[in-house]
Amino acid sequence: MSVFNKSRSYIIRIIFLSVFIIIIAQLANLQLVSNKYLELAKNNAVFQKILYPERGIIFDRNGKAVLNNTIMFDLMVTPAEVKNFDTLAFCNLLQIDTAEFRTRIVNAIIKNSRVRPSIFHSLLTPEMQARFEENSWRFPGFVLQQRPVRTYPYNVGAHILGYISEVDAKDIERSASFYRMGDYVGKNGLEYTYEKVLMGQRGVQYMIKDNKNRLVGHYENGEFDTTAVAGRGLKTHLDVDLQVLAEKLLNNKVGSVVALDPKTGGILAMASGPVFNPNDLTGPDKNANYAKMVLNVRAPLLNRGIKGRYPPGSTFKPLGGLVALDEGVITPSYGYACPGRYYGCGAGKPACTHSGGGHAANLRLAIANSCNSYFVQVYRMAVDNPRMGNMRKGYEGWETYMHKFGLGVRLGVDLPSEDKGNIPTVAVYDKEYRGSWNSCTNLTLGIGQDKMLATPLQLANAMSIIANKGYYYIPHFVDSIDGETAADAPILAKYREKHAVLTHISDTAYNAIINGMNDVVTRGTARVAMIPGIDVCAKTGTAENYTILDRRRIKLKDNSMFVCFAPKDNPKIAVAVAVENAGYGATWAGPIARILMEKYLLDSLTNKSKADLERISNTNLMPSYYDRLQYITDSTRAEQWAKIRKDSTQLRRYLKGSPKAAPKKDSAQAQGAPKPAQKPQQKKPAALITFITEDRKYRRPVTVFEEFI
């Protein structure tokens, strides 16, 4: 028995000794090796306050700040610290409901976990910020985070400057986790392209929290703090005064204006209509404003300067003439007897606005009078050139010329999402016409139509090539970077490289085209572009325009197109203007271009241009079919929402009346009483819906759904 007791006592001692050793080992681990609980303690007592750097400022060519920074505050939440919380008081303070509160907390947990700070409410208004600061002690887990926010002193440049917004999961993934939740990043425009230059470097402050969750000082006297480094600024070629003027001229219009310096490729102005204030995409209302613009069928967010695809129309004719001269199929003295229509392909199309009187007796006159027949014939001669071997090879050679002019390719401007327009290939025509086509099939390419599409930037660049007699620099905004280093060289190198694409063409050929474009202004179709004391070279264009509405192909008013450069002998500015559904090129686009050239070259406006500025800026040329298109789009969305969500709230605004409910059966009818005789219903005539387009009214039967619209 005693032996047994001794054995049991020995075992118990071993157990106690083992437990003691484990405790000592764990204490040693916690004190000497692991810092897990130290970090947890710090997390409870120390708040990691991110210092967001000021983004770099963007300046125009004269050193004026086109955008700047101001300070606002985000409300940050750490969900794990939200305890003993008066939810109702908090929601009243922020003017949200409790359901929205719960949704935001859940989103914060999903996006950034319970223990990391996330943005609960971005960019508080000053009033909301003041209310929270007074009551912050009541709401553990919530703190204010200082945030530099963009401001736009001139209220212009929204399409080219872009905007910044909080990073999403894809941004973080693409950056290999360099960005964190709460960081802001450039989402479009120059903000996106030059993000690495503008962003700066974030800093961190470690702040001590008291028992009421208030920040009371720096941890370890700021020993572990790091400072934020501001982003670097950009100096651009942009002339902000010219940009203000361009956007004013495009008020209540759809289209674009692009102005370049031919000698450098620097973009002096790029405006897109409909215009909007860039301040609408910053501050507390940015999300609501962005949503409205996304749903607007007029596409105010679309930068038509680089994404607007337009048939160049007659603005293409100087390019076509230059190709024919270089191919040797015509000389400057080549004339074409045009009776007013082109009969070379038998159909008598296209027609010419001018006819008779030797208006196409030579290249110079043909450009001045914008003779369609002349340039259709010139196109066919270039494509059918016997020297090329056959028509297909001739067309491929012509297509190569177009690419050298910058059409049908992306130029490489320092903005994202540039469109390449369209120059159709041999394969496209082979597919459409099953290999059976010739130069008559697409003869209107000679006057900038058929399948040809170009952006205003491409057209302005093509004018720069003519003005420079064969070379260009890739169009770009940024001239230099503050504190530019060798590491920055690759960013701007391509914009400083001269592209001598067509310098092999003789000066004689270029002078024929340039003199013809000068005649357009002095005695041709663009007298509206004359500037006293300056020789202007220009070309008008009027391109046919169609849209699909209510399943019908509808002809709209022509697009008003205009290209130009000046002065003739020492070009300093090249301009391309497109105004959708506005009519003749000389009516609207021409005066817009003249006003911009006059302002840039003379730094003032004549009385005539001042009057035109007020007239044009106050004229609403917004195509009327957009109203119908917006109605169709919104009502369709409402119908889809009603089907998906079983919620007809949005749909009701489009209903003229609700369907009548079936009458309830009374007790007599329910027991089989005879029904009163009903009068035969007369068949109602089909309702007609009427909508107005640019050139006529259309009527058609109302569809089933539209009975309730």
User: 267-283, pLDDT tens digit by residue?
Assistant: 999 999 999 999 999 88
pLDDT for 211 equals 59
Q: For residues 705 and 709, what is the distance between their CA atoms, to the nearest angstrom?
A: 7
Alpha-carbon gap, residue 293 to 245, rounded angstroms = 23
**Can you tell me whether residue 545 is helix, strand or coil?**
strand
The region of weakest confidence among 218-222, 376-380, 611-615 is 218-222
Question: What is the pLDDT at residue 551?
Answer: 81
> Could you read off the pLDDT of 457-483 as tens digits, one per residue?
999 999 999 999 999 999 999 999 998
* pLDDT attached to residue 659: 41
Q: In this model, does residue 198 exceed pLDDT 90?
A: yes
More confident residue, 668 or 653: 653
* pLDDT at 62 (0 to 100): 95
Give the list of residues 6+ apart from residue 421 with CB closer than 8 angstroms, or none. 309, 407, 408, 452, 453, 454, 455, 458
**pTM of the prediction?**
0.81
User: Nearest to residue 313, comparing CAs of 618, 612, 545?
Assistant: 545
pLDDT confidence of residue 215: 61
What integer is the mean pLDDT of 119-141? 84
Q: What is the pLDDT of residue 37?
A: 45
Mean pLDDT over 542-571 rounds to 87
Separation between Cα atoms, residue 414 and residue 404, nearest integer Å: 19
Asked if residue 672 has pLDDT above 50, the reply is: no
In the chain, the amino acid numbered 63 is G
Contact between 66 and 240 (Cβ < 8 Å)? yes
User: 156 to each of 238, 244, 250, 279, 286, how far by Cα in Å?
Assistant: 11, 6, 12, 9, 16
CA distance 412 to 407: 12
pLDDT at position 214 over 70: no
Largest separation between any pair of C-alpha atoms in the chain: 139
Write down the residue that tokens 């934020």 correspond to: 228
Could you give the C-alpha distances from 428 to 309, 396, 422, 431, 434, in angstroms and in order? 18, 12, 11, 5, 10
Q: How far is it, in rounded angstroms, from Cα 374 to Cα 356?
A: 12
pLDDT at site 694: 37
CA–CA dist 218, 47 (Å, integer): 9
Range of weakest confidence among 319-333, 509-523, 619-633: 619-633
Count of other CB atoms within 10 angstroms of residue 656: 8
Residue 40 is predicted with a pLDDT of: 43
Query: Quick check: 692 pLDDT over 70?
Result: no
The beta-strand segments (E) located in 568-632 are 573-579
Total Cβ atoms within 10 A of residue 10: 10
Mean pLDDT is lowest, of 2-6, 354-358, 523-527, for 2-6
Q: At 148, is the pLDDT very low, low, confident or very high (cuts 50, 70, 90)?
A: confident
Neighbours of 699 (CB within 10 A): 8
- More confident position, 399 or 223: 399
Alpha-carbon dihedral sign for residues 394, 395, 398, 403: negative
Q: How far, CA to CA in Å, does 151 sit from each of 404, 480, 700?
A: 39, 22, 49
Mean pLDDT of 171-190: 86
Token pair in block for residue 607: 């009385």
Q: To the nearest whole number, what is the mean pLDDT of the chain? A: 84
Res 364: pLDDT: 94
- The answer, yes or no, to whether residue 297 has pLDDT greater than 60, is yes
Q: Which two tokens stand for residue 144?
A: 């204010």
Question: Which residue reads 């700021």 in tokens?
Answer: 222
The burial class, CB within 10 Å (0-12 / 13-18 / 19+), for 593 is: buried
Q: Are 537 and 568 in contact, with CB atoms under 8 Å apart?
A: yes
CA distances to 242, 246, 485, 593 from 269, rounded to whole Å, are 6, 7, 27, 12
Quote the pLDDT of residue 588.
93
Q: Which residue has the higher pLDDT, 640 or 5?
A: 640
Q: How far is CA 324 from the centre of its chain?
A: 36
Task: State the average pLDDT over residues 345-364.
Answer: 81
Q: What percent of the chain has pLDDT over 90?
A: 50
Per-residue H/E/C for 405-424: CCCCCCCCCCCCCCCCCECC
**What band does 304 get if pLDDT is binned at 50, 70 and 90?**
very high
Can you tell me the distance from the alpha carbon of 312 to that of 294, in angstroms, rounded to the nearest whole number? 28
